[in-house]
Structure 1
Amino acid sequence: MRQIKTLITAIFFSLVCTTISVKAGAEEINKGDAAAFQEIITFQIMAFQADNADAAFAFATPKLQEIFQSPENFISMVRQGYAPVYRPKSFEFGQTELKDGHPTQVVTIVGPSGTLWAALYTFEQQPNGSWRISGVYLVKQPGAAA
């Protein structure tokens, strides 16, 4: 009986250590993924600037594509509600981090009217291992860009 308790304790300890190790690893975003996020954002902004709805739409997750149903609906929504992303004067990448379990790339954007914004791009990994944009949250920053 004592051997069984020892074995169960050892298995439990091993599982806890493995879970802690996996969780710690999952909370870090590797440099390759961070570089992919920045590339995806850059290409999507370039697609917006060229009014290439198909290309911009391709960077969105299947769930977002289902919601907007077409590239035209998607780019129309971006034009109306996300002018800083649609026509930025400039943008610069900040920190890549996990927010609420979602990989998030922070981007500082100077909008078309010179207003400073923080854009929080969230990403979702696809079954084939690639990444797509799952959301963008704009936060107006104090002051204006120089």
Structure 2
Amino acid sequence: MRAWLTLLLILSFFSGPALADDGTRAAARAVITKQVEALGRDDAPTAYAQAAPAIQEMFPNADLFIGMVRNQYRPVYRHRSFVFGEGRDTGEAGVVQSVAIQDEYGVDWTAEYSLARDADGTWRITGCRLIKAPGTSA
């Protein structure tokens, strides 16, 4: 019985999401960095260019896109710190990159960026989920 439980533990460990390899992680981080730096300069066209086609369809121009980021992703738009965490391979030609953010008011957040590779091999941001740190108020 003990050997069976050990085997199950080993299999469950290896069946979880894999860490992204160094090249994939570096490419994902480069795209996110390019977008975040563009947001910091209010460079809407460059920030918009990092978004996947599906995001660009929802926001058909750079001004609408940056307006949405200002309103719905304020911790990404303006922050005190932005530190990359773990990158995970989704197994679907994509990656999820975790980022620890402290917003302009000192509130801690985690951003989970999802990215996918276009047909031409270019990585683009397909989404971002913000999670406020436990114990912080609105």
TM class by shorter chain equals 0.7 to 0.9
Which structure exhibits the higher relative contact order, with contacts defined as CA atoms closer than 8 Å and separated by 6 or more residues?
2
Aligned position for 1:57: 48
Give deviations 1:98-122, integer Å, cap 9, x for gaps: 3585410000000111100000000
Moved over 6 A (4+): none
SS in 2 for 1:142: coil
TM-score by length of 1: 0.76
- By percentage of residues, which structure has more helix? 1
TM-score by length of 2: 0.80
Q: CA deviation at 1:33?
A: 1.0
User: Residue 126 of structure 1 aligns to which amino acid in structure 2?
Assistant: D
User: Residue 119 of structure 1 aligns to which amino acid in structure 2?
Assistant: A
- Given the superposition, is the C-alpha separation of residues 79 and 35 from structure 1 closer, same or farther in structure 2, using an over 3 Å criterion? same
Is the CA contact (8 Å cut-off) linking 1:119 and 1:137 kept in structure 2?
Answer: yes
Q: CA RMSD in A?
A: 2.0
Which blocks of at least 5 consecutive residues in structure 1 are unaligned?
1-23
| Matching of residue 82 in structure 1 with residue 76 in structure 2 | no
| Matching of residue 111 in structure 1 with residue 103 in structure 2 | yes
Which blocks of at least 5 consecutive residues in structure 2 are unaligned?
1-14
Bigger Rg, structure 1 or 2: 1
